[in-house]
Structure 1
Amino acid sequence: MTKTLTGKFASADTARNAHEDLIDTGFPSEVVYLDRDRGEVKVITSADAAPEAREVLRRHKPIGIEETQG
């Protein structure tokens, strides 16, 4: 089962940093998406890897993290 985590950030620069951090941590760039206009980063991952993705997003102090199944 996959999960999509969406981190919402106060600035595009912070979102970009979170995006780069996820990729540097080992998440494939094909499953990490940056929306600079909205200041959001989405990562599609397995349920097992979701806690690690959530932790990476939290390092960048998001306004919120939304999680959906599927």
Structure 2
Amino acid sequence: MGKAINGKFQSMDQARNTRDDLIGSEIPQDRIFIDKDEQIIRVMLPAEEAREVYEIFDRHGVTYN
């Protein structure tokens, strides 16, 4: 089952760089959503794949809970 992994970004450059890194890690582009108004990047993946997303968020300074 899929899980929404949400991170808060500060700028669109940060969001774009994070998205590019996620895609480079073979996460399908259609699983990555950027909400410009809320400044949230959301990745829909199975829970067991979440660790890689958190590592990429950390690398780009994207905060999450």
TM-score bucket of the superposed structures, by smaller chain: 0.7 to 0.9
Which 5+ residue runs of structure 2 have no aligned equivalent? none
User: Contact conserved, 1:12 with 1:38, CA < 8 A, in 2?
Assistant: no
Within a 5 Å distance, the mapping from 1:1-70 to structure 2 comes to 1-62=1-62, 64-66=63-65
User: Contact conserved, 1:5 with 1:44, CA < 8 A, in 2?
Assistant: yes
Q: Which amino acid aligns with 1:25?
A: S
Q: Which runs of 4+ in 1 moved over 4 A?
A: none
Q: Distance in 1 between matches of 2:8 and 2:57?
A: 9
Q: Secondary structure at the match of 2:48?
A: coil
Q: Pairwise CA RMSD of aligned residues?
A: 1.3
Greater fraction of residues in strand: 1
How many residue pairs match? The answer is: 65
TM-score, structure 1 as length reference: 0.80
Deviation at 1:29, TM superposition (A): 0.5
CA deviation digits over 1:16-51, x for unaligned, max 9? 110111011110011011223433211000111111
Which 5+ residue runs of structure 1 have no aligned equivalent? none
Q: Distance in 2 between matches of 1:21 and 1:47?
A: 19
Identity of aligned residues (%): 35
Greater fraction of residues in helix: 2
